[in-house]
C-alpha cells in the first residue's frame, strides 16, 4: 500500500462527522465565508477593504504562531523578521533583476526556510528556552541589517515595486489584493486544519506536554520542532511577499521587534491553540489599534504610540482572565470537529510474532548512578514471549529508574539491555519504541485536549509514514483511516470505545491509564512495559485489566509490570523480581516470593 496515495474511498473513510450543533453552525460558517468572499464586489468603502487586507496579512503570520506557540508550545518573538525576509526578497529581486513576483515568492520562501531551519536546528539542540531568546536576537539583528545595507535602501527601504499579475490580470488594486490575500489565508487555514488531523499533526500536538511521551511513541521531537518552526516562518514569509506588493514599498519598521510582539498579542487575544483564533485575533486587534490610534492622542493631548500601552494591558488582562483567548467563546457556535472511524480501511502491517518462551527482553547487570547514589545496582532480568514479569519493591527501590534504563529515557551507567537479540542500551527512546517496546507512564501522559481516539492513534505513529506535506495537502486519507481504525480496535480491547470522542483530559484517572495501555497496544509491541497500571483503578477495572493482560500474554506478548498492588501482581504474574535499594534481592514464581525470607524482611522489617 502506498501510504500517501489518494483514493476517494479512503477519503470517504475519514470524514468529519457532524457535531451536535452542526446544522446551524455550518450555516453560520458558510454564510460568513460567502460574505467575506463577496466583500470586494460590494459597494463598501476602500478603507474597509484596506483594513481587511491588513487583517489577512496579520492572520497568516498569527496562523503560524498558532501552530508553533499555541499547539507545539514553542515561543517565537521573531516572526516579523521572517515577514521581512519575504518582503525584502521580493522587493530586491523584482527591482534589481526584474523577476516576476511569482518567482520571487519562492526566493523569499527559500531564504526564510533556510534561515528558520538554521535558527531552529541550533536552538532546539540547546533547550526550549533558547528559542524565544534566539528569535528576539534574530529579530533585532535582521532589523538593523535591513536598515544598514546600501542595496536594500537602508532605513528608507525600497519603493516602486511592481504589482502582482495573474494570467494577464493586474492584481494591483486593493480589491484584487483582497482576493489574493484572503485566498492565501483560506488555503493556509485549510492546510493547517488538515495537518492537525494527521499523523504528524498528532505528534505536533503531543509536543506541548514535554517530549518524553512523544519520543516514546517514536517521534523525533527535535526534528519535528524545527519543522513546525520552519512552517510558521514560511507562513510569515508569504505574508511579507503579499505585504510588499500591497504597499509597493518596503522599509525596516514593520519587521522589528515591536511588530513581532504585536503578532504574539494577536495570537493570545484570538485563542492560541485554534486556527480560527488567528483570524479573530488579528481582526479584533487591528480594529482596536485603528480606533486607539485616533482616540488616544486626543485623550492624552499629544501624538504618540499610546496604543502599545493599551495592547500591553490587554495582554496582561487576557492572560489573567481569558488565557484561552476569544475563540472558545465564538467557536461554540461553529460545528464541532469530530473524527469518524469508518470500518473497511486497510490494516496496518504487524510485527512478525515471536514463538512463546523466546527471550524478548534481557537486562544484564544494569547500573544507574545519580551523583553519589547508586539507584540501580547490577540488576538482571528477562522477559520471555508469553510471560508477565512483575518488578516489585518498596518506594525508592529503583523500579522506575530500571524502567527508564530499559525504555531509553535514561542511559545506563553500566550493563547491557537486549531487545530480541539487539543491544538497545544507550539508544534513544524512539528507536527502542520502533524496535518493538511500548510503555505506559507512572504519571499518565496524555494530550488532554485531544480526543481519546487521537491519543491512541499516536501509538501507531511509527507504523506509518506520512510527511507534513502529504498531511497538509490531505493526501494521507487511506493511511489515516487505517491508523484510526487501529486506534479504535485498541480502545475496544481496553473497553473504552464509547468514550473515543471525548477529550482525554475529561476521563477519570483509571480510564486514562487504560487509554495509555490502548495507545501502547497501538504500537504493535513485542514487549509491553507498564508502570503501575492498576493505581487509581477501581476493583472491577482492575479485574478487567487483569483479564486483558492475560489475553495479551496468551497472544505471545512479553509484559513487564511495575506494580504496588500485591494481590494484583501475585495473581497475574508468572515471575517476580524484587528490588530493594537498587539491588535485586530475590526472584521467582509468585508463591516462592510470598514466602521468601529476604522479601518478607524488606517488606515487613524483619523475617518471621
Q: Which positions lie near ligand ADP, rule CB under 6 A?
A: 370, 373, 375, 393, 395-401
Residue 397's binding partner among ligand ADP, Mg ion, none (Cβ under 5 to 8 angstroms by kind) is: ligand ADP
Contact (CB, 8 A) for 241 and 104? yes
Residue 400 vs 573, nearer CB to Mg ion: 400
The length of the chain in residues reads 608
Give the shortest CB-368-to-ligand ADP separation in angstroms: 8
> Cα 545 vs. chain centroid, distance in angstroms?
29
Closest CA to 62 of 264, 291, 303, 299: 264
Burial of 343 (0-12, 13-18, 19+ CB in 10 A): exposed
Contact (CB, 8 A) for 184 and 56? yes
Residue 75 vs 404, nearer CB to ligand ADP: 404
Instruction: List the x/- string, 492-531, binding to Mg ion by CB under 5 A.
Output: ----------------------------------------
Tell me, by CB under 5 A, how many residues bind Mg ion: 1
359-370 and 414-419 as β-strands: parallel, antiparallel, unpaired? antiparallel
Give the shortest CB-316-to-ligand ADP separation in angstroms: 36
Give the shortest CB-581-to-Mg ion separation in angstroms: 14
Residue 311 vs 441, nearer CB to Mg ion: 441
Give the shortest CB-397-to-ligand ADP separation in angstroms: 4
Contact (CB, 8 A) for 117 and 106? no
Please count the other Cβ atoms lying within 10 Å of the Cβ belonging to residue 154. Answer: 14
Give the shortest CB-592-to-Mg ion separation in angstroms: 24
Residue 370's binding partner among ligand ADP, Mg ion, none (Cβ under 5 to 8 angstroms by kind) is: ligand ADP
Give the shortest CB-541-to-Mg ion separation in angstroms: 21
From 283, 400, 407, 440, residue interacting with Mg ion (rule: CB under 5 A): 400
Give the shortest CB-370-to-ligand ADP separation in angstroms: 3
Residue 6 vs 581, nearer CB to Mg ion: 581
Distance CA 125, CA 221 (A): 11
Contact (CB, 8 A) for 335 and 18? yes
Residue 135 vs 400, nearer CB to Mg ion: 400
The residue whose Cβ lies closest to Mg ion is: 400
Residue 559's binding partner among Mg ion, ligand ADP, none (Cβ under 5 to 8 angstroms by kind) is: none
Contact (CB, 8 A) for 519 and 527? no
Closest CA to 542 of 490, 495, 575: 495
State whether residue 231 is helix, strand or coil.
Answer: helix
Residue 70 vs 393, nearer CB to Mg ion: 393
Give the shortest CB-392-to-ligand ADP separation in angstroms: 9
Distance CA 555, CA 608 (A): 40
Residue 302's binding partner among ligand ADP, Mg ion, none (Cβ under 5 to 8 angstroms by kind) is: none
Distance CA 297, CA 307 (A): 9
Grid cell for residue 96: 534589481
Residue 392 vs 464, nearer CB to ligand ADP: 392
Give the shortest CB-560-to-ligand ADP separation in angstroms: 13
Instruction: List the x/- string, 225-264, binding to Mg ion by CB under 5 A.
Output: ----------------------------------------
Question: Which distant-in-sequence residues (6+ apart) come within 8 Å of 240 by Cβ?
Answer: 82, 83, 84, 85, 86, 87, 88, 89, 90, 108, 255
Residue 577, H or E segment: strand 575-580
Give one word for 370, left, alpha or beta, with left for phi > 0 and alpha for psi -120 to 50: beta
Residue 236 vs 520, nearer CB to Mg ion: 520
Give the shortest CB-395-to-Mg ion separation in angstroms: 7
Residue 98 half-sphere exposure toward CB, CA atoms < 13 A = 0
- Per CB under 5 A, the segment of 135-143, 203-211, 290-298, 397-405 that binds Mg ion is 397-405
Residue 400 vs 451, nearer CB to ligand ADP: 400
Which residue is listed with cell 520571487?
104
- Per CB under 5 A, the segment of 13-21, 384-392, 399-407, 430-438 that binds Mg ion is 399-407
Check residue 283 for interaction with Mg ion (CB under 5 A).
no
- Per CB under 5 A, the segment of 87-95, 157-165, 314-322, 395-403 that binds Mg ion is 395-403
Residue 212 vs 247, nearer CB to Mg ion: 212
Which residue is listed with cell 485549510?
190
Sites of contact with Mg ion (CB under 5 A): 400
Amino acid at each position: 500500500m502506498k501510504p500517501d496515495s489518494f483514493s476517494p474511498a479512503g477519503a470517504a473513510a475519514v470524514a468529519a462527522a457532524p457535531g451536535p450543533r452542526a446544522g446551524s453552525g455550518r450555516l453560520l460558517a458558510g454564510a460568513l465565508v460567502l460574505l467575506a468572499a463577496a466583500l470586494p464586489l460590494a459597494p463598501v468603502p476602500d478603507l474597509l477593504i484596506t483594513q481587511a487586507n491588513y487583517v489577512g496579512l496579520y492572520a497568516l503570520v498569527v496562523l503560524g504562531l498558532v501552530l508553533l506557540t499555541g499547539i507545539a508550545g514553542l515561543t517565537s518573538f521573531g516572526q516579523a523578521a521572517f515577514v521581512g525576509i519575504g518582503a525584502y526578497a521580493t522587493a530586491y529581486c523584482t527591482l534589481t533583476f526584474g523577476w516576476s513576483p511569482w518567482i520571487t515568492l519562492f526566493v523569499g520562501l527559500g531564504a526564510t526556510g533556510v534561515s528558520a531551519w538554521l535558527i531552529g536546528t541550533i536552538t532546539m539542540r540547546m533547550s526550549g528556552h533558547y528559542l524565544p531568546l534566539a528569535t528576539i536576537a534574530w529579530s533585532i539583528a535582521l532589523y538593523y541589517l535591513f536598515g544598514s545595507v546600501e542595496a536594500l535602501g537602508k532605513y528608507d527601504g525600497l519603493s516602486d515595486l511592481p504589482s502582482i499579475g495573474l494570467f494577464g490580470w493586474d492584481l494591483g488594486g486593493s480589491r484584487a489584493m483582497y482576493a489574493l490575500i484572503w485566498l492565501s489565508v483560506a488555503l493556509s487555514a485549510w492546510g493547517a486544519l488538515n495537518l492537525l488531523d494527521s499523523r504528524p499533526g498528532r505528534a505536533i500536538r503531543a509536543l506541548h506536554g514535554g517530549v518524553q511521551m512523544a519520543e516514546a511513541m517514536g517521534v523525533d521531537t527535535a526534528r519535528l520542532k524545527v519543522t513546525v518552526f520552519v512552517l510558521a516562518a514560511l507562513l510569515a514569509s508569504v505574508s511579507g511577499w503579499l505585504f510588499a506588493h500591497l504597499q509597493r514599498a518596503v522599509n525596516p519598521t514593520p519587521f522589528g521587534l515591536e511588530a513581532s510582539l504585536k503578532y504574539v498579542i494577536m495570537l493570545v487575544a484570538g485563542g492560541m491553540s485554534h486556527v480560527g483564533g488567528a483570524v479573530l485575533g488579528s481582526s479584533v486587534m487591528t480594529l482596536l489599534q485603528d480606533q486607539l490610534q485616533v482616540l488616544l492622542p486626543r485623550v492624552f493631548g499629544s501624538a504618540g504610540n499610546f496604543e502599545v500601552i493599551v495592547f500591553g494591558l490587554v495582554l496582561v488582562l487576557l492572560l489573567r482572565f481569558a488565557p484561552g483567548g476569544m475563540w472558545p467563546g465564538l467557536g461554540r457556535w461553529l460545528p464541532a470537529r469530530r473524527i469518524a472511524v469508518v470500518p473497511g480501511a486497510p490494516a496496518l502491517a504487524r510485527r512478525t510474532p515471536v514463538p512463546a518462551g523466546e527471550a524478548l527482553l534481557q537486562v544484564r547487570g544494569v547500573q544507574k548512578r545519580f551523583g553519589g547514589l547508586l539507584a540501580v545496582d547490577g540488576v538482571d532480568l528477562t522477559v520471555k514471549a508469553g510471560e508477565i514479569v512483575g518488578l516489585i519493591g518498596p518506594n525508592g527501590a529503583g523500579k522506575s529508574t530500571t524502567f527508564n534504563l530499559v525504555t531509553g529515557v535514561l542511559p545506563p551507567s553500566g550493563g547491557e539491555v537486549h531487545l530480541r537479540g539487539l543491544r538497545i542500551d544507550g539508544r534513544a527512546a524512539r528507536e527502542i519504541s520502533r524496535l518493538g517496546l511500548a510503555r505506559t507512564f507512572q504519571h499518565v501522559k496524555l494530550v488532554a485536549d485531544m480526543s481519546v481516539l487521537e491519543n491512541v492513534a499516536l501509538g501507531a505513529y511509527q507504523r506509518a509514514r506520512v510527511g507534513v506535506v502529504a498531511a497538509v495537502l490531505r493526501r494521507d486519507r487511506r493511511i489515516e483511516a487505517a491508523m484510526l481504525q487501529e486506534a479504535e480496535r485498541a480502545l475496544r480491547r481496553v473497553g473504552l470505545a464509547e468514550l473515543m470522542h471525548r477529550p482525554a483530559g475529561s476521563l477519570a484517572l483509571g480510564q486514562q491509564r487504560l487509554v495509555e495501555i490502548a495507545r501502547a497496544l497501538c504500537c504493535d509491541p513485542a514487549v509491553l512495559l507498564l508502570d503501575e497500571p492498576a493505581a487509581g483503578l477501581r476493583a472491577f477495572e482492575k479485574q478487567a485489566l487483569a483479564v486483558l493482560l492475560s489475553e495479551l500474554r496468551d497472544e505471545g506478548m512479553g509484559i513487564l509490570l511495575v506494580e504496588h498492588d500485591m494481590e494484583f501482581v501475585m495473581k497475574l504474574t508468572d515471575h517476580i523480581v524484587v528490588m530493594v535499594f537498587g539491588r535485586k534481592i530475590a526472584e521467582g514464581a509468585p508463591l516462592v516470593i510470598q514466602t521468601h525470607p529476604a522479601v518478607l524482611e524488606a517488606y515487613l522489617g524483619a523475617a518471621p
